[in-house]
Structure 1
Amino acid sequence: MNTLVSYLVKKISETNSQFTELELKKMNYGFVCLFDEITKIIPYYIIFYLFSLQQYYIVIFLFFCPIRLFSGGFHAKTYWGCFFISFVTFCVMIIIGKYITINILTSIVVLISSILLVYIFSPVDNINKRIKSKERRNKLKYLSVVITSLLGGMSYMIPNKFFTTAVLAIFMAVMMMMMGCISNNKDKNCSSDN
């Protein structure tokens, strides 16, 4: 994967010399992240499709990933570690979401708690890409809170059979954020000190 990305970035730099070394490094990192995600998203979809669970997977994807994108979270040290941790997490959310129903009061408590935790602890630094400016950190924090709030509201508008899955996806995104915060040197890189 890295060889393919390096080749692609090299070809881009040869055909367009206006990119600086820093821009090429950012491009390389972006392509690696993109290919890593694509090589997880597609196999997961295929596996869940084979078990007729693709709708639950799509709900999880839509309610989990946007929060994670802005708030950050736990990152495994290797691609395969990430692949299997994510897959198991998605499986657990699908199984619980499919077979357990939560009531409105419980969902309200879970969603309000999730929003508060996002406000207190987001964004969590990725070990490979630290958030350096306080302005960017604050922007990501507020985007995380807004996205979590909007998704929480949207969870009440989807079909009932997916409601628990949506609420659980939001909650798990927040739990993964907390795990990332803990794994980053016992809250050293969390924004609770901002």
Structure 2
Amino acid sequence: MEYLAKKLTNYIYEKKIITEELIEIYQYGFQCFLELSVSTICSIIIALFLGMLPECLFFFLLFIPMRSYGGGLHMKTYFACFIGSCFILTFSLLAVKYLTISIPISFALYLFAAVLILVIGPVDHPNRKVDAQENRTFIKRTYFTMLISFFLALFFIFTQNTRYMFLQAIVFVFISATSLIGRLIYKQA
């Protein structure tokens, strides 16, 4: 992705669309855009292949804000992150497709993982230090996302939606696991 980002940036620089001072900014922007695009397209392809696009969208509705604000383990390269994300998504969708876990067990699993996330708290990555104000903002947004997820869990219980309650539990188990691993690894760093 970095190679393509450099190529795109050099192209628009040579066309005199940007100045030399903006090269790094545009390169970073192109790289982020390309990485996000490839990940999104691959996720949609996985979901379509499994016939589970609504479940995939729900997965990301919870997963993205929780990982964004709660932090946790981050891979060293985009490729490792991409493979890990595809694995987590595929595993989650296949588990929901082929396993039936009762609502009380899914809800208990969800609650356990949610409490663990709250206990662990936001996990900073050594390469991106967060100041106290940012940390408070991330905590508030994490709590808000968790509140929404709790209401969704109650809705799934009320409607007896076993599939989505289990999917929500899986998302929170992965979030809590990556938070715990990140806390352990980055505490030693």
TM category (shorter chain) comes to 0.7 to 0.9
Q: Which residue of 1 aligns with 2:50?
A: 51
Identify the residue that residue 149 of structure 2 maps to in structure 1.
151
- The match for 2:168 is 166
- Asked whether the equivalents of residues 119 and 142 of structure 1 are also in contact (C-alpha less than 8 Å), the reply is no
Structure with greater Cα Rg: 2
> For the structure 1 residues 176 and 29, does the alpha-carbon distance in structure 2 shift closer, same or farther, using more than 3 Å as the test?
farther
**Counterpart residue number, 2:185:** 183
Conserved? CA contact 2:117–2:175, under 8 Å: no
Inter-CA distance 48–144: structure 2 relative to 1 (3 Å threshold): same
CA–CA separation in structure 2 for the residues paired with 1:94 and 1:170: 14
Structure 2: stretches of 5+ with no match in the other structure: none
Partner of 1:192: none
Query: Which residue of the partner structure matches residue 60 of structure 1?
Result: 59
- Describe how 1:1-194 pairs up with structure 2 within 5 A: 1-6=1-6, 29=28, 31-131=30-130, 133-157=131-155, 160=161, 161-186=163-188
- What is the RMSD computed on CA atoms of the aligned residues? 3.0
The SS at the match of 1:177 is: helix
1:29 deviates by: 4.4
| Distance (whole Å) between structure 2 residues aligned to residue 83 and residue 34 of structure 1 | 14
Structure 2 distance, partners of 1:182, 1:57, is 29
- Identity across the alignment (%): 20
- Which digits, 9 at most, give the CA deviation of each residue in 1:92-126, with x for residues without a partner? 11122222233343334333333322222232123
Amino acid at match of 1:178: L
Which whole-Å deviations, capped at 9, do the CAs of 1:32-76 have from their partners, x for residues lacking one?
334322211211211331232323222212221121111112211
Name the TM-score, length of structure 2 as normaliser: 0.77
What is the one-letter code of the residue matched to 1:55? P
**Distance of 2:117 and 2:24 partners within structure 1:** 30
Say if 1:31 and 1:16 are closer, same or farther in 2 by CA, change over 3 A. closer
Q: Whose helix proportion is higher, 1 or 2?
A: 2
Q: Give distance in 1, aligned partners of 2:148 and 2:17.
A: 42
